Structure 1
Amino acid sequence: MTIGKGCVVITGGSAGIGRACAELFAQNGYDLALLARGEERLEKAAEELSAYGVDARSYPCDVADADAVMATAREIDEAQGPIAVWVNNAMTTVIKRFWEMEPSDIRRVMEVTYLGQVHGMMAALKYMRPRDRGAIVNVGSGLAYRAIPLQSAYCAAKHAAKAASEALRTELIAEGSSVTVSMVHPSGINTPQFDWADTSLPNKPQPTEPIFQPETVAKAVVRAAKEGPRELFVGLPALAVFLGGQGMPQLLDRQLASSGADDQTSKQPRTIDNKTDGYAYEPGEGMFGAHGSYDHKAKDKALIVDGDVARFAAVGIGAVAAGAVGYFLGRGDRKH
């Protein structure tokens, strides 16, 4: 399967994973429509990506605003259409213990990280369904399957995005649509979000190690747009969280209670954004690109695993293990 004629829309396209995705799509010759709140950073990204010989344009937009997303989608489809791929990547987070947050913090994270994807899917479907073609790729997280301390709002938003994606996928299958809905679940990624997030930690937050570069996720997103898999996991940690969360939730509870906060705390001092409302309500400071502050720790390569393959493998290993246990128990019984 290949991406059809048209442009690729990327929300949160000016920095982090979205910026890395835009770079890779541009390298492959696809026109780009980039959405984000920070107008200056967005325009700079579009200008740099145009150097690849593609039509890259910036569209300032807050994905939490459904009307704004719909209006922007109409503008994109008229100017650069048809919309061939829509990548829902925009997010925000607050890194605090549950009781340290205000209700408004949780509401804002849900509005951007969950409803932002809902609004994007609705906008994309308005143009893709009548044409019976197109790919929607939602950037999820290993945390869509297993929540961790300090990120209850973000984890809840990713859980919700996964549920909405699953429901939509079944509805499209039921009507025989060729439109695909995929999710890409990264591990800990070196993006600027940790420089921008409001936090109660004593130092700047960091991704849980091992940390991977955003280009590893971009490869999975482009693959998802081309192949339309149900979901892809980027990096073994995301896969381990998925499998472990299903099979050993209580053990993970205790492990995360013991080390979850420390694993997310760096030795670097907090930024101005870390000490205030962060980027939940206003764009983060600085002209960041795809990478955050952890280049010295981040890996350039990550295993990309199809979720269905992982499930079949887990079931197969479980069946073999159960068979082996039964065999040896049977041998023991025969000896008596």
Structure 2
Amino acid sequence: MALTVVITGASAGIGRATARMFGARGADVALIARGWAGLQAAADEVEESGARALPLRADVADHRQVEHAAEAAEEALGPIDVWVNSAFTSVFAPFTEIEPDEYARVTDVTYLGFVNGTRAALKRMVPRDHGTVVQVGSALGDRSVPLQSAYCGAKHAVNGFTSSIRTELRHRRSRVHITVVQMPAVNTPQFSWVRSRLPDHPQPVPPVYQPEVAARAVLHAADRPRRKQYYVGASTLATVLANKAAPALLDRYLARTGFDSQQERGLRQETREGNLWHPADAAPGTDHGAHGVFDDRAHARSPQAALARRPALVSGALAGAAAGAAGLVAWRRRGRRPGTAAPWERAG
């Protein structure tokens, strides 16, 4: 029997690539997004693989629309087995240049959209004691960067919210699972249609991966959801570890490099208004596909993906980083005396 999968943000980027891969597996896929051109194109790709597709226009910031979409998905395709939250929006600008209503909108979509999707999924999964929710997270949910404060704040909130829900499910001994896939920089159309007040075109900070790398990780997490989170790309794991070991040093580094590294000089952005309030693919012929404009620098594979399938190695690396950070803090508190070695300098 085919799985029934619901994906928010399915019209482009990671959501689009994930829908295509689930369809290739034979899963029936309900696709949720605001625009129509991308949704219809994504549905066509799923159906080309022989699976059923159901495009559903909905704004994930509105819990009523998400609930109606979930009802429509189950009525047409059957009980939902997997729900993937991927929809988001953002504003690239210093915090002081982001208007309050813009900040609220990013939060409503990028954080509360995940809350609304999770609520609709669990409403159906918990009574059946079956199902999996996969949150598409980000390295920026562990380590914030300049110019993306609204997005970073929302992704941090997703992590905290998901951890709380996970413990509640465990408390009730539920067989419903919830997990997060922490993503690296991905070549999606967001950098062309995001609202921006930067002088140059927004860009992902290298290394950049293709959406298919992210999508494979989402499918893997849906298959093996018992881990609380997965890390995709060596850069994601390195960012998490560096932030645990030396957050102040990382602050200084990002303050020095974070503005220039997120802009591509000489590249013209299609629109600075972006898709914050209105979808970028509302009109026919405006489908953006899964990929952004950085194909020439994006990696189609991630060697670190193998590491993501080895929980013991990841846990060991994180535990080692935490221990190192604790030793560093203790050493700093004591104050370094002449001839005293730092924790990482000691032999044995």
TM-score (norm 2): 0.88
Which residue in the other structure is 1:334 paired with?
none
Which residue in the other structure is 2:17 paired with?
20
Q: What is the correspondence of 1:72-111 to structure 2 with a 5 Å cutoff?
A: 72-111=69-108
Please identify, of 64-73 and 260-269, the stretch whose mean Cα deviation from structure 2 is larger: 260-269
- SS at structure 1 position matched to 2:82: strand
Which residue in the other structure is 1:122 paired with?
119
Which residue in the other structure is 1:46 paired with?
43
Q: What is the correspondence of 1:1-336 to structure 2 with a 5 Å cutoff?
A: 5-228=2-225, 229-273=227-271, 275-276=272-273, 278-285=274-281, 286-302=286-302, 303-304=304-305, 305-306=307-308, 309-316=313-320
Deviation at 1:240, TM superposition (A): 1.1
- SS at structure 2 position matched to 1:38: coil
Against the structure 1 CA distance between its residues 268 and 182, is the aligned structure 2 distance closer, same or farther, given a 3 Å change threshold?
A: farther
**C-alpha contact 1:9 1:35 (8 A) present in aligned 2:** yes
Residue by residue, what CA displacement relative to the aligned partner does 1:97-122 show, whole Å, maximum 9, x if unpaired?
00011011110000000000000000
Residue by residue, what CA displacement relative to the aligned partner does 1:52-104 show, whole Å, maximum 9, x if unpaired?
00001100010000001011101111111110000000000100000011011
The 1-side partners of 2:4 and 2:69 are apart by: 14
- SS at structure 1 position matched to 2:316: helix
Residue by residue, what CA displacement relative to the aligned partner does 1:142-180 show, whole Å, maximum 9, x if unpaired?
000011000000000000011110000000011000111
The 1-side partners of 2:346 and 2:199 are apart by: 53
Deviation at 1:245, TM superposition (A): 1.2
Q: How many aligned positions are there?
A: 325
- SS at structure 2 position matched to 1:74: helix
- Unpaired segments of 5 or more residues in structure 2? 328-340
**C-alpha contact 1:10 1:89 (8 A) present in aligned 2:** yes
**TM-align CA RMSD:** 2.2
Residue by residue, what CA displacement relative to the aligned partner does 1:12-65 show, whole Å, maximum 9, x if unpaired?
001000001011111111110000000122112102220100001100010000
Deviation at 1:280, TM superposition (A): 0.9
Identity of aligned residues (%): 43
Supply the AA of the counterpart residue of 1:310.
V
Against the structure 1 CA distance between its residues 204 and 26, is the aligned structure 2 distance closer, same or farther, given a 3 Å change threshold?
A: same
Which residue in the other structure is 2:334 paired with?
none
Deviation at 1:6, TM superposition (A): 3.4
Supply the AA of the counterpart residue of 2:179.
S
The 1-side partners of 2:185 and 2:265 are apart by: 17
Against the structure 1 CA distance between its residues 297 and 330, is the aligned structure 2 distance closer, same or farther, given a 3 Å change threshold?
A: closer
- SS at structure 1 position matched to 2:298: coil
- Unpaired segments of 5 or more residues in structure 1? 332-336
The 1-side partners of 2:54 and 2:347 are apart by: 67
Against the structure 1 CA distance between its residues 253 and 316, is the aligned structure 2 distance closer, same or farther, given a 3 Å change threshold?
A: closer
Against the structure 1 CA distance between its residues 81 and 203, is the aligned structure 2 distance closer, same or farther, given a 3 Å change threshold?
A: same
**C-alpha contact 1:5 1:84 (8 A) present in aligned 2:** no
Supply the AA of the counterpart residue of 2:196.
T
Deviation at 1:319, TM superposition (A): 6.2
**C-alpha contact 1:202 1:270 (8 A) present in aligned 2:** no
The 1-side partners of 2:343 and 2:132 are apart by: 45
**C-alpha contact 2:324 2:344 (8 A) present in aligned 1:** no
**C-alpha contact 1:230 1:308 (8 A) present in aligned 2:** no
Against the structure 1 CA distance between its residues 195 and 320, is the aligned structure 2 distance closer, same or farther, given a 3 Å change threshold?
A: closer
TM-score (norm 1): 0.91
